[in-house]
Structure 1
Amino acid sequence: MYKKIGKRMIGFSLSVIGLIVCAIPMAIIALLIRMDSKGPIIFKQKRLGKHQKIFTVYKFRTMCDHAYEKGGVATRSDDPRITRVGAILRRTSLDELPQMINILKGDMAIIGPRPILPIEFKKYRLNKRYAHRYDVLPGMFCTVDILNRAAEREVQFEMDADYVDHMSLALDIRVFFGIISTVVSGKNVYREEVGINSKKGNRR
């Protein structure tokens, strides 16, 4: 029941509440983006959704205009294409807030495999285990975000497939609150930080 109806109902309801509660903060973020750099406030990009159908994802813009065409996905904190406001939004995951609109439209869920670019899955398209991640709606956050938001694709895809196998209300609640802790700590947003934070943890 949760997989077929409950998950969608909860996601829709929380997104409506979230958009109302976050209306003023989102307006402030939009103003800061406008003041900080040229370009659109909302970043739109084609991503792979459920059953590998392409949809348009919405995020607050964190890089300079046409940044992807200039160098692809940003994987380092010192990427010069990341704006000053964008650096803060990425660290706090506030750039994801517009995806609540995707949830209302039925393109995404709150918890689910993170949507990626079609080209990023091209070489894995024949891997049935990894393709399993597309049996559910993509999400704003997923299990991989708790441990390592900058994980390599193979690690991410395996964790996504495992999430689909065990998807439940209890798991989604654990992931949701786990994400809050991860976001507050601001760790492992970029790939070069993973090893650093791991070493710090080993010294404690």
Structure 2
Amino acid sequence: MEGKAVSQYKTQGVNLSDIVKRAFDLMMSFFGLIILSPFFIIISLLIKLDSLGPVLFKQVRVGRYEKSFKILKFRTMVTDAEKRGAQITVGRDSRITRVGHFLRKSKLDELPQLINVFKGDMSFVGPRPEVPKYTQYYTKNQKRIFEIRPGITDYASIKYRDENEILALSSNPEKTYIDEIMVDKLKLNLEYLEKKSLFTDVKIILNTLYRIVK
């Protein structure tokens, strides 16, 4: 099934904007990994001192052409978190570690995704990659987002930066996520698909940084 999906998308080819975007991602992720390497070391030590388990959290996500890849994050939860609850995080989830709360709030847990960007699994800007469990609900039109690489940030990430707090207000968080939040995210992703450009990407990156600092 995955092979079929890949051949379906590959017919679209590569244009100049794709080449420019990939060159930007490659260059910025390379320098980002070098410049931020001291933070990687410090955060890794804090995670190891705070709780048992690996420094990095790896999870299967659906990327470009519906190909699966493993997204990288700094671990913010207990090691068996996915066995203890849902794949979405709600409010002050008890599975989140002390250091994990800080990393999530500051978005520092996303830093290892620079490796995903460098490898080509992801881009700096693009639809946030979803777990396979939820992509099965996508309509044919919504699946158009698989034409481009998923990203570290996008319009939806900015709008739903406090998603876990929103879900905490719901009596059925997973249903709220699937029926409301995910649908709105996909709408924003499709809007980005129609307007995507390097200028738009820079605006989204700057807006994301502003929100984090604020």
Establish whether TM, by shorter chain, passes 0.5: yes
1:108-167 C-alpha deviation (Å, 9 max, x unpaired): 00000001100111122xx12211111100001111122222271001111111111111
- Structure 1 equivalent of residue 31 of structure 2: 17
Q: Distance in 1 between matches of 2:190 and 2:16?
A: 18
1:63-99 C-alpha deviation (Å, 9 max, x unpaired): 0002012102343331100001111111111111111
- Structure 2 equivalent of residue 113 of structure 1: 127
Given the two structures, how large is their TM-score scaled by the length of structure 2?
0.82
Q: Distance in 2 between matches of 1:6 and 1:74?
A: 34
- Structure 1 equivalent of residue 114 of structure 2: 100
Which residue identity does 2:151 align to in structure 1?
G
Q: Distance in 1 between matches of 2:150 and 2:107?
A: 16
- Structure 2 equivalent of residue 178 of structure 1: 207
- Structure 1 equivalent of residue 105 of structure 2: 91
2:77 to 58, 63, 82: 63
Unaligned runs of 5+ in 2: 1-14, 164-176
Unaligned runs of 5+ in 1: 186-204
- Structure 2 equivalent of residue 159 of structure 1: 188
Q: Number of residues paired by the alignment? A: 183
The secondary structure found in structure 1 opposite 2:25 is helix
> How many percent identity over aligned positions?
37
Which residue identity does 1:26 align to in structure 2?
F
2:146 to 134, 151, 162: 134
Q: Distance in 1 between matches of 2:88 and 2:50?
A: 19
Which residue identity does 1:3 align to in structure 2?
S
Q: Distance in 2 between matches of 1:20 and 1:77?
A: 34
Which residue identity does 1:107 align to in structure 2?
D
Hey, which bits of structure 1, 4+ residues long, moved more than 3 A?
none
Q: Distance in 2 between matches of 1:176 and 1:30?
A: 25
Could you tell me whether the CA contact under 8 Å between 1:2 and 1:168 is conserved in 2? no
1:148 to 157, 160, 167: 160
Given the two structures, how large is their TM-score scaled by the length of structure 1?
0.86
